Amino acid sequence: MDLFEQSAGTAVNTPLAERMRPRSLEEIVGQQHLLGEGKLLRQLIEQDQLSSVIFWGPPGTGKTTLGQVIANRTSSRFVFFSAVLGSIKEVREIIAEAKQQRNYHRRKTLLFVDEIHRFNKAQQDAFLPAVEKGDVTLIGATTENPSFEINSALLSRSRVFVLEPLAAEDLKQLLQRALTDSRGLGPRNMEIEDAALDFLAEQADGDARIALGTLEVAAATAGKRKITLPVVQEAMQKKALLYDKGAEEHYNVISAFIKSIRGSDPDAALYWLARMLEAGEDPLFIVRRMIILASEDIGNADPRALQLAVAVQQAVHFVGLPEARITLAQAVTYLATAPKSNASYQGINQALAEVRKSGALAVPKHIRNAPTKLMKELDYGKGYKYAHDFKDGYADQTHLPDQLAGTVYYQPTERGYEKIIGERMHLLKAGKNRTRQ
């Protein structure tokens, strides 16, 4: 008997998270970008028109729950399969039965494969013929990036829906429901302090299973008393840090982190990184700020900084915490010790200010596109110097609108690689009256 064959509240020893698993779209909280009114996934489920899909998201965000909701709503035959427990032989048996159901009973089969990434790409080939022929509609669930873990042919025939970690407010709603619902702790009349509820919702890292599992342990610890903050902290084995993701201290800490890197202080940067990680900050939020900083505060003084920051974003997706802390630390120490320049940042700000002030100035005729005879007769493109025909690949000509000729927006610093850039630009611009190569 699998998890879709039993009622969520029938087994006395069933974990709270399983008892409280939503049974309908109306009971699901969060994922409004997918399940809100009028959203594509909601419409496909409501209309029972689901094609092959991959649900990708962190643990505890509702991938398996969506499978159960689909099973409850569909008129198709629904089969649940775990890639952890099952084998390819079983997959082939399921597909053979699905083919018979389709050919003899005109009944469609929805095959939900939990943790599909546990099958390697060669094993995933077993699904492909059945999906292509329409014998099964595949619903895969994975915590890993499908781009890396799902067979490319299978992926191209599926729509990927990305589930996000649940927001603290969503988790609070789930926890409050568990405290009052008859399937949950309702019969015990449990109460929880606001501080304990807030802490639990913040520290669960967007994972409903962790939040409900911790609540269940805390309720057992509290007995008939109110669930307090110390009880929740003990149940979660985590102490509260002064760091509210939605409030002032969140912005204070990220500000200290950025300014430590900008100030070339790797020790302070590592400390603030540790503060954020320990408090449960989303590592991808941290990486986004590092990518911005790599361009804003380092720029061409060390162009590798941006490459490293983007690589860390991929690594965090691929590896996940806790190991991703090592990759984050490597990037933080590199960015903190890299030469600094905000010349590109200043340059684009000045250029934007000019555009907003002067509007759409005319493109000089000699650098306009001239694909037709008429445009050539109007002298579009006439006089354009092809840079590669000149010494050093540089032609002395104006590329700005006439009104802005000679304006300088990008001024390289004397730091890092920008010193070389500055020297090269100086030499190029100093070589007037260049001749063809």
| Strand 136-142 with 53-56, pairing | parallel
Residue 95 lies in a domain: yes
pLDDT grade for 3, boundaries at 50, 70 and 90: very low
Tell whether 297 is covered by a domain. Answer: yes
The reply to whether 221 and 256 lie within a common domain is no
Got the DSSP string for 199-232?
A: HHHHHTTT-HHHHHHHHHHHHHHHTTSPB-HHHH
Identify the domain containing residue 396 by its residue range.
Answer: 361-430
Cβ–Cβ under 8 Å, residues 158 and 140: yes
Residues 223 and 261 both lie in one domain:
no
Same domain? 129 vs 187: no
CATH number (domain holding residue 409): 1.10.3710.10
Q: Are residues 157 and 172 in the same domain?
A: no
Same-domain check for residues 324 and 218? no
Q: Which amino acid, one-letter code, is at 229?
A: L
Say yes or no: 35 and 152 in one domain: yes
pLDDT in tens, 243-294: 555 555 667 888 899 999 999 999 999 999 998 888 778 888 899 999 999 9
Nearest to 132 by CA among 51, 44, 49: 51
Per-residue pLDDT at 238 exceeds 70: no
Confirm whether 349 is domain-assigned: no
**pLDDT band, very low/low/confident/very high, at 378 (cuts 50, 70, 90):** low
250 in Cβ contact with 244 (< 8 Å)? yes
User: What are the Cα distances from residue 311, in Å, to 123, 196, 290, 317?
Assistant: 29, 37, 11, 10
Distances from the Cα of 38 to the Cα of 35, 43, 46, 166, angstroms: 8, 7, 11, 20
Whether residue 35 is found in the same domain as residue 157: yes
pLDDT tops 60 at residue 1: no
C-alpha 319/C-alpha 272 separation (Å) is 21
Buried b (16+ CB within 10 A) or exposed e, 150-172: bbeebbeebeebebbbbbbebbb
Q: Which of 92-96, 168-172, 193-197, 399-403 has the lowest mean pLDDT?
A: 399-403
The count of domains in the chain is: 4
CATH classification of the domain holding 330: 1.20.272.10
Compute the average pLDDT of residues 221-227: 86
Domain presence at residue 220? yes
